[in-house]
Structure 1
């Protein structure tokens, strides 16, 4: 199964997450199919904290990819912010 989930990056105590499309069997920070955006929980001021390519997200969900709970929450947050 294909899932849309977060892949952690950044250094210790400074997390940075990429939103990726990956096979469910691959480890969290391993190989992925496509990068859809990023999430920076420590973004301050003028920094961009969340970016998601909505068109690619819609494509992957349309062909059957499942979103993780956290990615689902972030997508709703991005839609609320855009409105």
Structure 2
């Protein structure tokens, strides 16, 4: 019953969405959703890279990795912020 969506059903859903949120807010909502997806993707990629490099522990006395910058969107300098990587302060 609910498994098959045709063109009339999709059009009806789009009309309801436009009526609920208004045509002016939809582009802003789509833009913020895109920014959130890019941030999530870049953070997931950074976590994967950190996981693969953390397996190779640095030698004692070696410098920690450089500070990296997170950007919400490519070329968006206003929302970029530097991030300090956490360091392991425990002694063995």
TM-score, normalised by the number of residues in structure 1 = 0.22
Q: Larger relative contact order (C-alpha < 8 A, sep ≥ 6)? A: 1
Greater Rg, structure 1 or structure 2? 2
Tell me which protein shows more helix as a share of its residues: 2
Q: Which one has a larger percent strand, Structure 1 or Structure 2?
A: 1
